[in-house]
Amino acid sequence: MSIPKEWFQFLLPLIIFLGLFLLRYISQFVKARRLKEIAPYLNGVAVIWPFSPPRIRGTYMGIPFQIIFFAAGRNSPGRMQIKLSFSFPFVLEARGPGAMQGLEQLFQRGRPIETGDKAFDEAVVARADRERDKAELYLDNPVNRESILEILKEGFENVRFTEKELILTRQGDFLGGELTPEHSLRDLALAARLMQRL
């Protein structure tokens, strides 16, 4: 039984696409095994499932956290996302100027906040989505501003406070060798500082 030429022309690109898709995720799956070595240093466990971004789950100073690793794609760099489960009384995003591009700029939410701290306002674009007065009060504290600045200087592209969690995002090939227990602990410590002065 032979496959008609029309069917073959239709199936070949699909087979190639599925093959590349599987190859990418198998490669990510193999690289992610290193997380099993790092996770115990963070009081966490590696969670590696097929077709799901690998992650480390655990608790830091009693706060549940996840560090999620997204593989690089053809048009997108790899990235790491740190999520700490913590309820903030406002929704706020802080990022460096020019970090938002393309469609993100069109659909950005919230109005900018100016703190009156020239160094901070020049280095950080802060936008409050809800409970703006509480977000402004949070940024009134120089220690909180300093912590946000330090996180951005460390290479994180944005910090997002929500009613359920704190999210830090950073670009890089972390599964390819840029990840160490020391760096991960430092990142968690920097994130935890944002919760200490509400």
Encode pLDDT of 71-97 as tens digits.
Answer: 777 677 889 999 999 999 999 999 998
Is residue 149 a part of any domain in this protein? yes
pTM: 0.80
Q: Cα–Cα distance between 112 and 107 in angstroms, integer?
A: 14
Per-residue model confidence as pLDDT tens digits over 106-159: 445 678 899 999 999 999 999 998 788 999 999 999 999 999 999 999 999 999
Amino acid at the residue 178: E
Is residue 159 a part of any domain in this protein? yes
| Residues recorded for the chain | 198
Backbone angles phi, psi at 150, to 5 degrees: -65, -40
Give how many domains the chain has, as a whole number.
Answer: 1
Contact 93, 126 (CB under 8 A): yes
Per-residue model confidence as pLDDT tens digits over 19-57: 666 665 666 666 667 888 899 999 999 998 877 888 999
Question: Which residues sit opposite 170 in a β-bridge?
Answer: 80, 156
Is residue 54 a part of any domain in this protein? yes
Is residue 198 a part of any domain in this protein? no
Three-state SS sequence of 71-84: CCCCCCCCEEEEEE
Give residue 33's domain range: 5-193
Is residue 50 a part of any domain in this protein? yes
Radius of gyration (Cα) for the chain, nearest Å?
20
